[in-house]
């Protein structure tokens, strides 16, 4: 074999042996409301390029098994980070990120996440007899969520006069939340605690 043929053969051998490198992402998802593993949760991993744009051709999807576990092999390409989106019906979505520099191609990359079940509180505000147009009822939220369309984002809610109204707010399931209400006349102020029920609505009545 002459020198030229040997060089060509060596080049072909080296290039044919080159393999793509992959990140192996292994994770487990838990139900933060019930303190159990969460099966059938949707997992989507998206690559974010160095310029900050999302690479729509590098999207990886799977679901968690009965033990809440998942595994995905992601091709190692130039990127700044990866976005991990976790979702399931009637749960709050969660988005986390992993920096490219924190990932290894030699060992599995282990991640742990939790989703919280959705729950609702229905406040019923009733100004009972004798009602007065100057009566003021104030509901103060010590705890609130601001990350969803159904969440009550204000810290205070005012109701004036002869009121028979209701307010429905979304919260995390199986959690305790604290509120405070004030009635102007006769003056009354009280702190209350309400524990939510996963996937259900708890009703609390204010009669003043």
Report the pLDDT value the prediction gives residue 8, as an integer from 0 to 100. 43
Residues 163/126, Cβ–Cβ less than 8 Å: yes
Assigned token pair, 91: 């749960």
Beta strand pairing call for 201-207 and 118-126: parallel
Query: Phi/psi zone of residue 7: left (φ > 0), alpha (ψ -120 to 50 degrees), beta?
Result: alpha
Which CB contacts under 8 angstroms, 24+ apart, belong to 94-103? 97/48, 98/25, 103/23, 103/76
Strands (E) located in 38-163: 42-48, 54-63, 69-75, 81-87, 94-99, 109-115, 118-126, 136-141, 156-160
Q: Are 28 and 47 in contact (CB under 8 A)?
A: no
Query: Are 75 and 25 contacting, i.e. CB atoms less than 8 angstroms apart?
Result: no
User: Following CA atoms 196, 197, 201, 205 in sequence, which dihedral angle do they give, to the nearest 10 degrees?
Assistant: -40
Q: Are 22 and 60 in contact (CB under 8 A)?
A: no
Domains of the chain: 20-115 (2.60.40.10), 118-207 (2.60.40)
Q: What is the pLDDT of residue 9?
A: 46
Residue 17 CB neighbour total at 10 angstroms? 7
Are 45 and 25 a contacting pair, CB within 8 Å?
A: yes
pLDDT of amino acid 138: 97
What pLDDT does residue 147 have?
63
Question: Which pLDDT does position 14 carry in this prediction?
Answer: 45
Ordered per-residue pLDDT tens for the chain, 208 residues: 555 444 444 444 444 445 679 999 999 999 999 999 999 999 999 999 999 899 888 899 999 999 999 999 999 998 999 999 999 999 999 999 999 999 999 999 999 999 999 999 999 999 987 878 889 999 999 886 666 777 888 889 999 999 999 999 999 999 999 999 999 988 999 999 999 999 999 999 999 9
How far apart, in whole angstroms, are the C-alpha atoms of residue 165 and residue 71?
A: 49
């Amino acid at each position: 074999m002459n020198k030229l043929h040997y060089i060509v053969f060596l080049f072909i051998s080296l290039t044919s042996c080159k393999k793509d490198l992959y990140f192996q992402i292994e994770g487990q998802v838990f139900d933060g409301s019930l303190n159990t593993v969460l099966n059938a949760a949707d997992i989507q991993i998206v690559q974010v390029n160095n310029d900050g744009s999302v690479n729509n051709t590098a999207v990886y999807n799977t679901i968690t098994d009965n033990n809440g576990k998942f595994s995905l092999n992601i091709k190692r390409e130039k990127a700044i980070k990866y976005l991990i989106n976790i979702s399931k019906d009637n749960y709050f979505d969660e988005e986390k990120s992993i920096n490219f520099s924190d990932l290894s191609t030699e060992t599995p990359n282990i991640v742990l996440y939790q989703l919280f079940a959705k729950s609702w509180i229905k406040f019923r505000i009733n100004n009972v007899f004798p009602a007065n147009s100057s009566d003021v009822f104030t509901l103060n939220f010590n705890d609130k969520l601001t990350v969803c369309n159904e969440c009550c984002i204000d810290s205070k809610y005012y109701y004036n006069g002869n009121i028979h109204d209701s307010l429905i707010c979304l919260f995390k399931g199986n959690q305790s939340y604290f509120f405070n209400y004030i009635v102007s006349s006769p003056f009354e102020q009280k702190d209350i605690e309400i524990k939510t029920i996963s996937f259900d609505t708890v009703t609390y009545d204010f009669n003043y």
